Amino acid sequence: MTSTLTTAPRTDPLDAAADLLALLQDTTTEPRPNDQLSALTLAVSADLPVLLWGEPGIGKTAALTQLADSLDLPLTTVIASVHEPSDFSGLPVVGDDPAVQGVPMAPPDWAVRLVRAGRGLLFLDELSTAPPAVQAALLRVVLERRIGSLALPPGVRIVAAANPRASAADGWELSPPLANRFVHLGWAHEHEVVVRGLGGTWPRAALPLLDRAALPEAVAFARRAVCGLLTARPALVHRLPKNEVARGGAWPSPRSWEMTLRLVAFATAAGVSRDVLSLLVRGTVGDGPGLELLAAIDRMDLPDPEELLADPAAAVLPERGDLRQTVLEGVVEAVRSRPERGRWDAAWVIMARALESGAPDVVVVPASTLAALRREDWEVPATIERLAGVVSLGRRADRAAAGRAAAGRAAAVAGRGR
């Protein structure tokens, strides 16, 4: 008599662990406004190398992984600090006849995989821990997109990440030539994004949608903005910082201005917000030059003072107080350059419209200057009374006219006495 023993199937504890890990990794994405993510995707779209700066554990690597997934790009991660310079410049391979064929520089396997794929995201992590010799070897990778004798295809984008030297393991400052090849973006966590992401939903990274019809105009606008600023401020064309830390960040040079021009064109064609454009231009040429460029762009969109004076009743003024004051000051200067009674009256209509639709303090200085332009035979318009609560403009105008009349009489008397 035989007996059959049934044995329950054994379950490997690691199988359950794998199932749990899979559930934890099962996340989704959602459209969510995020300026730093928008700046990153626009720079990637513009095919410019991007360097993300942030403290350890802030989510730089996770953001790049999610970006690659969203764009359906193969992600190749290279830890710069654990490689030798030859891993980026290529290893010499002696052929059959070096005297005839030369000695080619063989690229590493990850570069070959990128070329075979024809597209991908090359992620250079821990860049601030790479020693100077490795940084020097990376110069050609970042700028010329060459690794040894191999050229990366146009479908490959380059993004790097770095920790500030104080929080990097055996950190180094970036060399100025390498730093000047990147768009530098500060990467910080947003509380709501982190909480919602840990709950399973992260922001979705998407390339900006470019308006094809607006491409020529976007290029013309970007060239006009950058060239206009550098024509007026030639000292900004190239300014290498004296501080070692600043030299490892964004600073202006012909190369970084060319990158900035491209970013302004892409931002214009994509219609991104001013905050996103600010992150990009300040991350390319530095805070000072970047803010000057933003101010120049703001002024480019301001209405022409002559058009406002021609039809003051239909004047549309900027909402922002600083831009509104700039427009009003431009109107006053236009009247000063060609002082006529009708133009002076029209300027007061514009001042009154500014007072009705914005903060009163913006009107005080340009209105006071306008009052001082009154000629003796110009009557004070009724419009000026509407501004009496802001500043005693009527009395100032009278005093200005009386002063001019007295000066004229004194000059006449002096002329007769000669």
Domain definitions of the chain by residue range: 31-91+105-203, 212-300, 305-417
CA 217/CA 224 separation, integer angstroms: 10
CA 224/CA 262 separation, integer angstroms: 12
Q: Which residue's entry shows tokens 């720079």?
A: 43
CA 193/CA 196 separation, integer angstroms: 5
Of 308, 164, 326, nearest in space to 248 by CA: 164
The predicted pLDDT at position 169 comes to 56
Q: Would strands 201-203 and 28-30 be described as parallel, antiparallel, or unpaired?
A: parallel
Sequence-separated (6 or more) residues with CB below 8 Å from residue 253: 180, 237, 238, 239, 240
Asked whether the CA dihedral 354, 358, 359, 362 is positive or negative, the reply is negative
- Terminal alpha carbon distance of the chain: 149
pTM of this prediction? 0.74
- Do the beta carbons of residue 318 and residue 330 sit within 8 Å? no
- Do the beta carbons of residue 130 and residue 81 sit within 8 Å? yes
Which amino acid is it at 298? D
Q: What is the CATH number of domain 31-91+105-203?
A: 3.40.50.300
H or E element: which one contains 158?
A: strand 155-162
Q: Where are the alpha helices (DSSP H) in 286-391?
A: 287-300, 305-310, 321-337, 341-357, 361-371
Q: Which pair of tokens denotes residue 358?
A: 């914005």
Could you list the mean pLDDT of each consecutive 10-residue stretch along the chain, which spans 418 residues? 54 84 87 89 95 86 84 89 80 62 74 91 89 88 86 92 72 87 91 86 86 94 93 91 90 97 96 95 96 89 88 88 87 92 92 84 85 86 69 52 61 55
Which amino acid is it at 78? V
The predicted pLDDT at position 394 comes to 44
The predicted pLDDT at position 263 comes to 97
